[in-house]
Each structure stands twice: as C-alpha cells, then as structure tokens.
Amino acid sequence: MIFLKVLSRVFWVAVGCTFLFPLYWMVTMALKSKNEAYANPFGIPTSWDWLNFGEALSKYHFYTYFQNSLIYTAGTIVLTLTTGSMLAYCLSRMQWRFNSAALFYVSLGLIVPIEVVVIPLFQLIKTLHIKNSYLGLILPYSGFAIASCVLMLYAFLRSLPKELEEASCIDGANVYQTFFKIIFPIVMPALMTQCVLIFIRIWNEFPLAFIIASKDQFRPLTVGLLSYFVNVGVADWGLIGASMLLSSLPMIIVYLIGNEKIENALTAGAILK
C-alpha cells in the first residue's frame, strides 16, 4: 500500500514537471548556439551563449509587438470594464422596464465563439475604416468580453446592500457621482477578477488578430511571433528559443507575481454557476 502511494506520488510529480518543462526548454534553448541546438536539443547547454537575445531583439520586432499587445489588452480592459460595469449597475439597481430582457440579451453573448463571426467582422471593420488602427481589434474584443463581465458584476452588485447609495443619495449626490465615487471602489475586487480574465484572454488571442492585424506594425505578440518563426524557418532554434522566451516573459512575470489572484479569477466562474 505504501509502495503504491509512493509510486502514485512519483507519477504525479513527474506529470507536474512536464507542465514546467517548456519553461526549462525555452531558457536552455535560448542559451544555445546554433550548432549546439541541433547536437543537444533538450539537455543543459555546455556553454552559455547570450548572442541569441541580441540577435532576436534586432531582427524580431519585439518592442513593437509588445507595445501593440499592451495597447490591445489595456484598451479592451478599460473599455469593457467601464461600459460593462455601468450596464451591470443599471440592470441591478435602476428601474428600467427592459432590465430582464437586456440581461437575457447580453447573456446570449456567451454562446457565440468569436471565431465563427470572423468573416463578417472582417467586412464590418473594413467598412468602418478601422482595419489599420488599434480600434479594429479593441472594439470587437470589448464587444465579446462584455457578456461575461456584465453577468459577473451583476451577480456581485445584487449581493451588495443598498444603504451606501441611499446615504449618498440623501447627501445630494447624483447618480454619476454615486456610481464613480462609491460603487466603483466597492466592486473593485470583481473588477480585478475581470481584469485578469480579460488580460489572459486578449494577451493570448490569436484567431481574430491573425486576420484583422495584417499589417506588421499593428500585430500583437502572438501573431508577430508566428510571422517571425516563418521568417527564421527551422534554421535557427536558438533564435526561436530566445524570441519565445522574450514573448512569454511579460506573462510569466505577471503570473509569478499574481498567481494566486489569477487562479482565483480563473476559477470564479466555476463556483458562481
């Protein structure tokens, strides 16, 4: 019995290590010279070669892509959270005839995956003349993120007592002041959760960005990295390793700092239902 227990533990720890293996592999690959990458693709490098990073930085437009990813993600977060929280507030607090209808309408957004409307979205964005601008991706991303944002904030706001708003109402604040000065800070935890969720989703989004951001100067990291891989071909895995590590580093740092927050955010949906 004890033997079985030890065996199963060893097995699962091995499984855990396979999840971390890519990190090890990216780091070691990035430090290998071109020849060593072929001779010893999965071992520890015999000599450390930092040249890959310099070369990757000069050929791979890391800064541009990084900046674009940041703009897309931040833009989507700001737009979704402000508009989404306002709608959720109205649905949970204000007296409006169409409250439940609007809630149902928004929840439909959870069923449609963004991939299936890529073709009409592509046409729409061309018609609106925002194809070669940051708005071309930020607006559709926000449109698709709003459904889950509104539903989550709605659940959160409904559980909040109304006394605070009544107090501010008596003090003569209008609805905008009440919302931005009192409600906004209170729903911060829920907003942070949404922030994390949208960050992970948009930072790694691929299918839509691949079509819409066709100009190199507007490509985010995910798409830019692919076009770089295509350029390098399979000739130089050291370079590929370095560019992969560079592209993943921002996300890895964010994850290491806030992994418990990220975990809570990702699992929030599972318990809410």
Partner 1 sequence: MNKYFSTKLSIFVFTAPALLLFTVFCVYPLLPEIWMSLHDHDGFRNLGFVGLDNYREVLSTPSFWTAHKNTYLIVAISLLLGLPLSMMLSLFMDVQTPRLRRFFKTAAMFPAILSVTVVAQIWLAFYEPNWGLFNSILHSIGLSDWTHSWLTEKKTVMPSIGLSFLWQYIGLNAILFYTGIKTIPKDYYEAALLDGASFAQVCLKITIPLLQNVIKYVLILSTLGSMAFYSHVRVMTAGGPGDTSRTVIYQMYYTAFDTSQFGKGTAIAVLFIIQCLVISFIIQRFVARGKLEF
Q: How far is Cα 236 from Cα 34, in angstroms, rounded to an integer? A: 6
Question: How far lies 237's CA from each of 123, 234, 240, in Å?
Answer: 38, 7, 5
Q: How far is Cα 65 from Cα 243, in angstroms, rounded to an integer? A: 12
175 touching partner 1, by CB under 8 A: yes
60 touching partner 1, by CB under 8 A: no
Q: How far is Cα 236 from Cα 240, in angstroms, rounded to an integer? A: 7
Q: Which of 72, 152, 247, 265 contacts partner 1 by CB under 8 A?
A: 247
Interface of this chain with partner 1, residues 84 to 123, rule: CB under 8 A: 84, 86-87, 89-91, 93-96, 102, 105-106, 108-109, 111-113, 115-121, 123
| Shortest reach from residue 217's CB to partner 1, in Å | 18
**Which is closer to partner 1, CB of 167 or CB of 188?**
167
The string of DSSP codes covering 4-15 is HHHHHHHHHHHH
233 touching partner 1, by CB under 8 A: no
Q: How far is Cα 146 from Cα 77, in angstroms, rounded to an integer? A: 10
14 touching partner 1, by CB under 8 A: no
Binding-site residue total for partner 1 (CB under 8 A)? 94
> Applying CB under 8 A, which part among 50-58, 186-194, 244-252 lies near partner 1?
244-252
154 touching partner 1, by CB under 8 A: no
Helical H segments across the chain, by residue range: 2-30, 34-39, 51-59, 62-93, 99-107, 118-127, 135-158, 163-170, 175-177, 184-186, 188-203, 207-212, 221-232, 237-272
Per-residue string for binding with partner 1, 176-215, x by CB under 8 A?
x-xx--------------------x--xx-xx--xx----
Q: Which residue has the tokens 């541009």?
A: 64
| Shortest reach from residue 109's CB to partner 1, in Å | 5
| Shortest reach from residue 110's CB to partner 1, in Å | 9
